[in-house]
Amino acid sequence: MRTDGRQYDETRAVTITPHYIKHAEGSVLIEVGDTKVICTASIEERVPPFMKGQGRGWITAEYSMLPRATQVRNQREAAKGKIGGRTMEIQRLIGRALRSVVNLEALGERTITLDCDVIQADGGTRTTSITGAFVALCMAVNKLIQGGKLSKSPITDYLASVSVGVVKNQVCLDLNYEEDSQAKVDMNVVMTGLGKFVEVQGTGEESPFTREELNDLLAAAEIGIQAMIGKQKDTLGPLTAVVGAGANAANAKK
């Protein structure tokens, strides 16, 4: 058993509160255990300079933590005058993951920016950000459809993410901060509703891992991701913005 009483393949409690920030086109407060992230989706009717005139849209993400989201206060990146490597890595990951389930041509020449701001951190902030940002993105797309700017959704499948790891020689799902600090192997996985991989990022800095461990980690991740997608569907309700094969398959599984 784990220190917080969970089974090895059990996620923490997940709560997704939609419409959390009134100004944003889409927004949620997502809580996975004690990790809390505000995710907002902001629509702009233009694309970055390098994409102009191609008839395609863009999805991008930014990630940050409040200084006291963590046990020890962190200096703000604005105060340091630059964004750190960890933050860059995470925001590149979030953007890339979300783009994998969006048909950018169908989105049209507009940008949706997903801001993921961690207000309390207890492990899994990047995976929680992806899971929450997907819901905010769907809400923003619904707004475009309701406003007549899009006739159908460019989102092709559900998308969620969890962390898995090897803690005390045991494969565990959805690590909290305490477990994460002790993990010998740490892996973040992003999958679609159809069960395909979008990102697999495993690292064994403390201890290289075998092919068997990799297999077990991926199996645990799949369980967690499907649970996350269930919560996303509950939040989005019947007015979901997900279409195509992914949505069909997901609906069939319901």
Hey, is 200 helix, strand or coil?
strand
Hey, is 151 helix, strand or coil?
coil
Under rule CB under 8 A, residue 198 binds a second copy? yes
**Given 214, 223, 243, 249, the residue binding a second copy (CB under 8 A):** 214
Cβ 188 to a second copy shortest distance, Å: 10
- Identify the helix (H) or strand (E) that includes residue 229: helix 211-236
Q: Report the residue number, 1 or 116, with the smaller CB distance to a second copy.
A: 116
d(CA 59, CA 38): 18
CA distances 214 to 169, 186, 223, 246, Å, are: 13, 10, 15, 25
Q: Does residue 139 contact residue 41 with C-beta atoms inside 8 Å?
A: yes
> φ, ψ for residue 198 (rounded to 5)?
-110, -40
Using CB atoms within 10 Å of the CB of residue 158, give its burial: 0 to 12 exposed, 13 to 18 middle, 19+ buried. Answer: buried
Stretch near a second copy under the rule CB under 8 A, chosen from 49-57, 125-133, 201-209, 229-237: 201-209
Q: Report the residue number, 1 or 78, with the smaller CB distance to a second copy.
A: 78
Map tokens 């898995």 to a residue: 164
Using CB atoms within 10 Å of the CB of residue 28, give its burial: 0 to 12 exposed, 13 to 18 middle, 19+ buried. Answer: buried
Q: What would the x/- binding string for a second copy be over residues 131 to 160, using CB under 8 A?
A: --------------------------x---
Q: Report the residue number, 92 or 149, with the smaller CB distance to a second copy.
A: 92
Asked whether residue 126 is marked as a ligand-binding residue, the answer is yes
Stretch near a second copy under the rule CB under 8 A, chosen from 2-10, 45-53, 147-155, 207-215: 207-215
d(CA 139, CA 143): 6
Q: Report the residue number, 4 or 234, with the smaller CB distance to a second copy.
A: 4
Cβ 83 to a second copy shortest distance, Å: 5
d(CA 106, CA 136): 18
173: Cα separation from own chain's centroid = 16
Q: Report the residue number, 73 or 152, with the smaller CB distance to a second copy.
A: 73
**Given 7, 15, 54, 203, the residue binding a second copy (CB under 8 A):** 203
Q: What would the x/- binding string for a second copy be over residues 37 to 76, using CB under 8 A?
A: -x-x-x-x-----------------x-x-xxxxxx-x--x
Known binding positions for phosphate:
86, 124-126
Q: Which residues bind a second copy (CB under 8 A)?
A: 21-24, 27, 34, 38, 40, 42, 44, 62, 64, 66-71, 73, 76-89, 91-92, 96-97, 99-101, 113, 115, 117, 119-121, 157, 187, 191-192, 194, 196-211, 214, 218
